[in-house]
Amino acid sequence: MRYPSLKEMLGEQKGRKPIKRKGSVRAQLRLDQKGKCWRCHKGFDAMGVVRPHIHHKNGNPSNNRYSNLALVCGTCHDFLTHKQTLKGRRRPSRKVLW
């Protein structure tokens, strides 16, 4: 049995396009943000973050314009991603079932 590669699995995600690299987008964002997280403003070096996450500010993963990208620490990226998925969903009802 052949398992799909990570690249194949990620390539099938709806609306996700790879970021075209001219130089290093991550390095340029790090310089522009002065080595700090876009959300919590803590320094990546002080937190021990070696490779910060690239976050799409508007939540659209196919929009790879430089102005839509930001570097965030893992904790902030989890928070922001979870917050954006809840925006479009209806919250479950709190009916008591017993």
pLDDT at position 52 is 94
Tokens 């910060």 sit on residue:
52
* Topology at the third CATH level for domain 10-83: His-Me finger endonuclease fold (3.40.1800)
Query: With bands split at pLDDT 50, 70 and 90, how would you rate the model's confidence at 85?
Result: low
Q: How far apart are the first and last CA of the chain?
A: 44
Q: Where are the domains of the chain?
A: 10-83
Nearest Cα residue to 19 out of 48, 60, 49, 51: 60
The average confidence (pLDDT) of the chain is 79
Separation between Cα atoms, residue 79 and residue 77, nearest integer Å: 5
Query: With bands split at pLDDT 50, 70 and 90, how would you rate the model's confidence at 90?
Result: very low
71 membership: H or E segment, kind and range: strand 69-72
Average pLDDT over residues 37-66: 92
23 membership: H or E segment, kind and range: none
DSSP conformational letter for 17: -
| pTM (predicted TM-score) | 0.64
